[in-house]
Amino acid sequence: MDLEKELNGKGDEPERPRYIIRNAAFALGPQPPLEWVIDKLISRGSVTIFYGEPGSKKTYAMLSLAVCTALGKNWLGFATKPCKVLIIDEESGERRFTLRLAATIRGELGDESVNIEFISLASFKMDNKKDVEEIQKLIEESKADLVIFDALSDIMDGDENSKQDTQPVFTNLRRVAEKTNAAAIIIHHANRMGGYRGSSAIKGSLDLMVKVLSEDDSDWITFKSEKSRDTEPVQFSAVAHWTDEQFYLELAEHEKKIKPLNKSQNYVIKYLTHHGASSLPDIMGAADNCSPNGARHAVYDLVDLGKVYRVNPEEKGHAAVAVYDLARDTSNEEPARDE
């Protein structure tokens, strides 16, 4: 019996066929529109990845998304539909995850009635047939409309760099999302070059892929879609706030996002466009229309703006040399002018 039939079979109920042949009349007939969990961003039955480097605050950002959705509050300018949220935590552990979730609920002025449930360290694997069945049953019984998995590497036994290993994981995620009509979000990690980690088949399996950019020492977070099957490409930024036992995200000020780049910042953009990933000393040493110190500050400012990111954040200490690269297409920025 194949996985499709296993997932369809329920007790003595007749199994649904493996496939149904449709025709043009069906396609042209009335079809239900996409049902959004987060308006014009995440729809029910979809599969999405948010990924970023360590310290990019991607888990906190997804907790903010989860709590706002459960409360029916706008999330960073996107309207949400109040619904049940289920979180499968396979990375943080119950103690750490509970503290983070509690701070996020308080930050959004929620209480015990917030419609969220979570499970920590159950060792669910989306490449294991029995676990896939159990997760589908769990979603159905909880009546969750949004399910968040943290993180991809923890919900598979196979090699995430192998198409043969990742394809079944995302096939199963797709089937579960379709059958339960729940939106699935998977938190994932970036590779050393700043892209998503793993096989190219991962991106091909998704409805939406969003890169999360933030430096360890910055409260500024930028979100940029790298694939959007059902929506227009998006890019938006937020400021993270930690107060007394609270965490929340605030949509970044519009004026800050559109503020023109200064001479030093344009120099850095131009340098990285021509040279690619470069060390901070090299960027400073080649400064021509600004001072080396101005170039250094420009790099840090551009990181906060989400236009530049550090390639090697794991290298720390006095001997470490920071390497930076462009975080997005900046070809439309005003070019640096020689003076």
Give the model's confidence band at 1: pLDDT under 50 very low, under 70 low, under 90 confident, else very high. Answer: very low
* Burial classification of residue 251, based on how many CB atoms lie within 10 Å of its CB (0-12 exposed, 13-18 middle, 19 or more buried): middle
Distance CA 66, CA 61 (A): 9
In contact, 316 and 286? CB cutoff 8 Å: no
**Side chain identity at 150, as an amino acid letter?**
D
Distance CA 185, CA 336 (A): 40
- Contacts for 296-304: CB closer than 8 Å, 24+ residues apart: 297/264, 298/262, 298/264, 298/265, 298/267, 298/268, 299/268, 299/324, 301/265, 302/265, 302/268, 302/269, 303/215, 303/218, 303/220, 304/215, 304/218, 304/220
What mean pLDDT comes out for the span 143-158? Answer: 97
Give the model's confidence band at 259: pLDDT under 50 very low, under 70 low, under 90 confident, else very high. Answer: low
More confident residue, 172 or 34: 172
What mean pLDDT comes out for the span 46-74? Answer: 96
More confident residue, 64 or 193: 64
- Answer whether residue 238 shows pLDDT above 90: yes
pLDDT at 5: 46
- The partner residues of 36 in beta bridges, in order of sequence, read 43
- Answer whether residue 35 shows pLDDT above 90: yes
pLDDT at 328: 59
The least confident of 154-158, 164-168, 306-310 is 306-310
- Answer whether residue 257 shows pLDDT above 90: no
Which two three-digit tokens encode residue 186? 């998977």
In angstroms, the Cα distances linking 160 to 153, 165, 259 are: 7, 7, 39
pLDDT at 2: 47
pLDDT at 335: 39
Which two three-digit tokens encode residue 292? 């080396």
- Answer whether residue 146 shows pLDDT above 80: yes
Residue of 218, 249, 217 lying closest to 236 (CA atoms) = 249
Domain ranges of the chain: 29-255, 260-326
- Answer whether residue 209 shows pLDDT above 70: yes
In angstroms, the Cα distances linking 94 to 56, 90, 314 are: 21, 9, 25
Of all residues in the chain, what percent carry a pLDDT higher than 90?
69
pLDDT at 254: 53
Distance CA 49, CA 68 (A): 18
Instruction: Give CATH superfamily name and number for 29-255.
Output: P-loop containing nucleotide triphosphate hydrolases (3.40.50.300)
- Average pLDDT, rounded, for the chain: 88
pLDDT at 304: 75
Instruction: Considering only CA atoms, give the Rg of the chain.
Output: 22
Q: How far apart are the first and last CA of the chain?
A: 72
In angstroms, the Cα distances linking 10 to 107, 178, 316, 336 are: 41, 17, 53, 65
Tens-digit pLDDT profile for residues 220-236: 999 999 999 998 999 99
* Burial classification of residue 199, based on how many CB atoms lie within 10 Å of its CB (0-12 exposed, 13-18 middle, 19 or more buried): buried
pLDDT at 139: 98
Which two three-digit tokens encode residue 10? 């329920």
What mean pLDDT comes out for the span 299-328? Answer: 82
pLDDT at 333: 43
Distance of alpha carbon 137 from the chain centroid: 25
pLDDT at 256: 46
* Burial classification of residue 249, based on how many CB atoms lie within 10 Å of its CB (0-12 exposed, 13-18 middle, 19 or more buried): buried
- Answer whether residue 7 shows pLDDT above 50: no
- Answer whether residue 247 shows pLDDT above 50: yes
More confident residue, 61 or 1: 61
Count of C-beta atoms within a 10 Å radius of residue 338: 7
- Answer whether residue 332 shows pLDDT above 60: no
- DSSP β-ladder status, 146-150 and 235-243: unpaired
Domain 260-326 class in CATH: mainly alpha
Decide: pTM greater than 0.85. no
Q: Do domains 29-255 and 260-326 have the same CATH topology?
A: no
CA geometry: angle at 16 spanning 12 and 19, to 5°? 160
Tens-digit pLDDT profile for residues 38-59: 999 999 999 999 999 999 999 9
Give the model's confidence band at 62: pLDDT under 50 very low, under 70 low, under 90 confident, else very high. Answer: very high
The least confident of 14-23, 77-86, 157-166 is 14-23
